[in-house]
A and B are shown apart, each in its own frame.
Chain A
């Protein structure tokens, strides 16, 4: 069975500082990994994904994530946080292969960027 852990329920960071939202995963085989963001009363928006290749993945709104196979992690990062980045962030994993449909989400991390 595949699983995702987001160890922090909430992350607080000052505007302009770098931010990191942590994610670790468990899956058989090489994973497909995703980050989504959810603003209040909205659906989830896709930020970025890792499928294969370069371990550093760049996505929307200046976010990036680093895939670390040995640590089974896929942490989300941004060099300089904005107040508008405050939202709920979800990490998700899917096993590779065309027959694998289920995307498993973490419980989410609430990011608060303090002006």
Chain B
């Protein structure tokens, strides 16, 4: 099993450009999450999904959109990138929330917005 994979690994954008980050998991997990990691701030939840076709806002959703058309994929979109969105983005998935199921993380995407 590949676990959680993210595409691309690195990306540089100019302000105002758009892009989509792809997350895929092969563990048949219901729940998927997008986080951003900034120095000294830990991980902050952007959006999450509790199943195919459903999405919800997390702690810092502004400037991002998501879609979960297939159970195994969770896409994060930036419609008009801003320098404040320079960050490392992590996708995660989990089996569910009962019994405290842990989240499994992808390797991350390092995004720089100039």
Contact = CB atoms under 8 A, between A and B. Distances in A.
Contacts of A4: 42
Given A32-B100, A49-B100, A49-B102, A44 B42 contact: no
Interface string A42-84: 1111100101000000000000000000000000000000000
A98 B90 contact: no
- Interface range for B: 20 to 34
Given A46-B104, A51-B99, A101 B42 contact: no
Given A44-B90, A107-B40, A51 B107 contact: no
A105 B42 contact: yes
B107 A90 contact: no
A105 B43 contact: yes
B43 A43 contact: no
